[in-house]
């Protein structure tokens, strides 16, 4: 499985980030998350990072030009290992641009994993999510319990529910995700290599299914 290229898609609350990190570890792939790339570039004050910060400070979405610049750097850095891309592409234009960019580099996406989870299940799951504002650890009242209720295992800080995880916000985020990602899924379905993974189970079950479909 050397130098394999995977894109993982899934709605907020599907556990996509967790799964991407595990797949990356298991297969020795670079974990390319556009969110992390942005934060890292801003922290390093690279040219793209400085430019990205001017958008973020104004509360604007960072332009595709900057994002693709960051992706280009990440692709260069992971040329020898392969990668799994998480949180991108978010819409059809980005999917087409990414495919074109890879084509120009003589590379391609081998598999697109679409984690499929029922919206009601996500609303229920996210209502149980708690995060530690101090160290960013993420827990769940049902599935990732802390030793002491309401207290972070890692740093001892108090846990909170993110405003993003309130039911109305979750439903709105899911609607936006569906509207923007449905054409992306259709694009990859036509192109080939799309595999749908049932995301209803727990972290272990979903991971086992991903391993099975990647084989
Ligand atoms: Zn903590």
Give pairs for 121-125: CB < 8 Å, separation 24+.
121/200, 122/11, 122/12, 122/13, 122/14, 122/170, 122/174, 123/13, 123/167, 123/170, 123/171, 123/174, 125/13
Q: 19, 207 in Cβ contact below 8 A?
A: yes
Distance between CA 20 and CA 7 in Å, rounded? 9
Dihedral, CA of residue 63, residue 132, residue 198 and residue 26, to nearest 10: 80
Distance between CA 208 and CA 134 in Å, rounded? 32
Contacts of 183 (CB under 8 A, 6+ apart): 91, 92, 95
Average pLDDT over residues 97-119: 95
pTM > 0.75: yes
Among the listed residues 22, 90, 125, 130, the single catalytic one is: 90
Question: Cα(145) to centroid of ligand 1, in Å?
Answer: 13
Q: Give tens-digit pLDDT for 125-149.
A: 899 999 999 999 999 998 889 999 9
90 labelled catalytic: yes
Question: Cα(158) to centroid of ligand 1, in Å?
Answer: 8
Residue indicated by tokens 């229920």: 124
Question: Cα(114) to centroid of ligand 1, in Å?
Answer: 30
- Of residues 193, 194, 5, 1, the one with CA closest to residue 83: 5
Cα Rg of the chain (Å, integer): 18
16 labelled catalytic: yes
Q: Give tens-digit pLDDT for 161-185.
A: 998 899 999 999 999 999 999 999 9
Q: 9, 115 in Cβ contact below 8 A?
A: yes
Distance between CA 145 and CA 154 in Å, rounded? 12
Mean pLDDT value across the chain:
93
Average pLDDT over residues 51-68: 92
Question: Cα(138) to centroid of ligand 1, in Å?
Answer: 8
Residues, CB-to-ion distance under 5 Å, ligand 1: 132, 134-135, 137, 152, 154-155, 157
User: pLDDT class for 61, splitting at 50, 70, 90?
Assistant: confident
Evaluate if residue 71 carries a pLDDT over 70.
Answer: yes
Distance between CA 81 and CA 56 in Å, rounded? 31
Among the listed residues 39, 124, 128, 173, the single catalytic one is: 173
The CATH fold of domain 5-29+78-118+171-214: Rossmann fold (3.40.50)
Q: What percent of the chain has pLDDT over 90?
A: 82
Question: Cα(206) to centroid of ligand 1, in Å?
Answer: 26
Distance between CA 165 and CA 169 in Å, rounded? 7
């Amino acid at each position: 499985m050397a130098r394999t290229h995977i894109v993982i898609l899934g709605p907020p609350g599907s556990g996509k980030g967790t799964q991407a990190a595990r797949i990356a570890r298991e297969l020795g792939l670079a974990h390319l998350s556009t969110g992390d790339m942005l934060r890292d570039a801003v922290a390093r004050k690279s040219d793209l990072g400085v430019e990205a910060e001017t958008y973020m400070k104004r509360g604007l979405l960072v332009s595709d030009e900057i994002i693709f610049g960051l992706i280009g750097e990440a692709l260069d850095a992971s040329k020898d290992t392969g990668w799994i891309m998480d949180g991108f592409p978010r819409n059809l234009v980005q999917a087409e641009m990414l495919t074109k960019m890879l084509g120009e580099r003589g590379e391609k996406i081998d598999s697109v994993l679409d984690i499929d989870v029922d919206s009601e299940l996500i609303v229920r799951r996210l209502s149980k999510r708690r995060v530690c504002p101090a160290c960013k650890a993420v827990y769940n009242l049902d599935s990732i319990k802390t030793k002491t209720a309401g207290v972070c295992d890692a740093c001892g800080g108090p846990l909170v529910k993110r405003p993003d995880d309130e039911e109305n916000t979750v439903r709105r985020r899911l609607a936006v995700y569906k509207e923007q990602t449905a054409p992306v899924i259709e694009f990859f379905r036509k192109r080939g290599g799309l595999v749908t993974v049932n995301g209803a189970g727990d972290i272990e079950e979903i991971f086992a299914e991903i391993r099975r479909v990647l084989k």
